[in-house]
Amino acid sequence: MIKKVELTGVKEIARRANVSIGTVDRVIHNRKGVSDATRQKINLIIEEINYQPNKMASLLATKRNLNFAILIPKVSAETDYWTYPLNGIEQAGEEVKQFGIIIQYFFYDLDSRGSFNEAAEELLNCNPQAILLAPSFIEESTAVVKRINELNIPLVFINSDLPKQPSLTYIGPELYQSGRLAAQLTSLSIAHEDEIMIINISTDLENDHHLVRKEQGFRAYFNDSKLANPITTLNIYDTHIGSVEKSVLEALQQNPNVQAFFVTNSRVNIVAKILKKHNKTHSLVGYDFLKSNINYLIDGQINFLICQRPKEQGYLAIMALYKHLFNINEPEKAIYMPIDIITKENYRFYNS
């Protein structure tokens, strides 16, 4: 009895198609230089035997490096928010480097559209095989993304989406719902009649749709819950503590019944500092796991922080690109981060 030899892989395909494995390889990778007839024959066989390439052999053979380029805001003195996505990216980088993936970092200044364009130009000059982008300036980002898509480079957005531009996936927050959650948390610590003040602090408020969406969610929650607490909004365009202080104190004088503040971004620590200085005990809810925020959480000036796993966003983005390029799996088109609540009793175990 003859033992049946079960060949697999390119060899078996080559045997069945009566060609060399070199030709099979050309078909598998859609390289040109194969006659249509041969190509079809081989593709048929590939389907027939449901061929799955052995990625390990492929990796071993290529010894090729893959360049991943990332373009995110620079960590600024003002906020260390972007250290967290960066940490996640670096951690993922450690894990995939054995597969020949090399990460190149490009940073831009959140205050400068020019710096974004420059960094993007440099990035494209490096011919990356995959790109991670945290877009901020819609117009400039859109222009860059169009070029990326023309070049057919897989692209992942984190933190902010550019919904009209195609991408492998978006990984980040769903803002409206996080505003609703902020409202629920705020409602826990106030009475029926208490007034609430929403504080937006941003130099570029008109372009910051993030804050607007959160505010919408916040107000919707109170509406839907039939809570009648008056809600006013205070917009502050100058982020320096002096002017924030002036604005907040003025607003408090005009609205003496305000018992709770909701700060729509990570600048909640500024408000906390001001309230503390003036011995105010208002309820305070804001965003993001920053050291300066955590300190006020610990001493009770901030009640809750909402956080959407910035480190995980960076980590998952790199892994999504890796899994895509290595045929492991395809991500959902949008991955919304869980909306985490941080208090002084669980911050210690929150790992980003």
Partner DNA sequence: CTGAAAGCGCTTACAG
Contacting residues toward a copy of itself, per CB under 8 A: 54-57, 59-60, 94-95, 98-100, 174, 177-178, 180-181, 183-184, 188-189, 221, 323, 326-329, 336-341, 343-346, 348-351
Q: Which residue's CB is nearer to DNA, number 129 or number 292?
A: 129
Q: Which residue's CB is nearer to a copy of itself, number 154 or number 173?
A: 173
Q: Which residue's CB is nearer to a copy of itself, number 73 or number 173?
A: 173
Rounded distance, CA 138 to CA 279, Å? 41
C-alpha 153 chain-centroid distance: 18
**Residue 19 binds: one of a copy of itself, DNA, none (C-beta under 5 to 8 A by kind):** DNA
For the bound state, the minimum distance from the C-beta of residue 7 to DNA, rounded and expressed in Å, comes to 7
**Residue 11 binds: one of a copy of itself, DNA, none (C-beta under 5 to 8 A by kind):** DNA
**Residue 98 binds: one of a copy of itself, DNA, none (C-beta under 5 to 8 A by kind):** a copy of itself
Rounded distance, CA 307 to CA 314, Å? 14
**Which residues inside 7-66 make contact with DNA, applying CB under 7 A?**
8-11, 18-23, 25-26, 28-29, 32-39, 51, 53-54, 57-58, 60-64
Instruction: Please state, as a whole number, how many other Cβ atoms lie within 10 Å of the Cβ of residue 160.
Output: 18
**Residue 349 binds: one of DNA, a copy of itself, none (C-beta under 5 to 8 A by kind):** a copy of itself
Q: Which residue's CB is nearer to a copy of itself, number 41 or number 311?
A: 311
Rounded distance, CA 246 to CA 258, Å? 16
**Residue 104 binds: one of DNA, a copy of itself, none (C-beta under 5 to 8 A by kind):** none
**Residue 94 binds: one of a copy of itself, DNA, none (C-beta under 5 to 8 A by kind):** a copy of itself
Q: Which residue's CB is nearer to a copy of itself, number 28 or number 251?
A: 28
Q: Which residue's CB is nearer to DNA, number 36 or number 139?
A: 36
Residues near DNA (CB under 7 A): 8-11, 18-23, 25-26, 28-29, 32-39, 51, 53-54, 57-58, 60-64
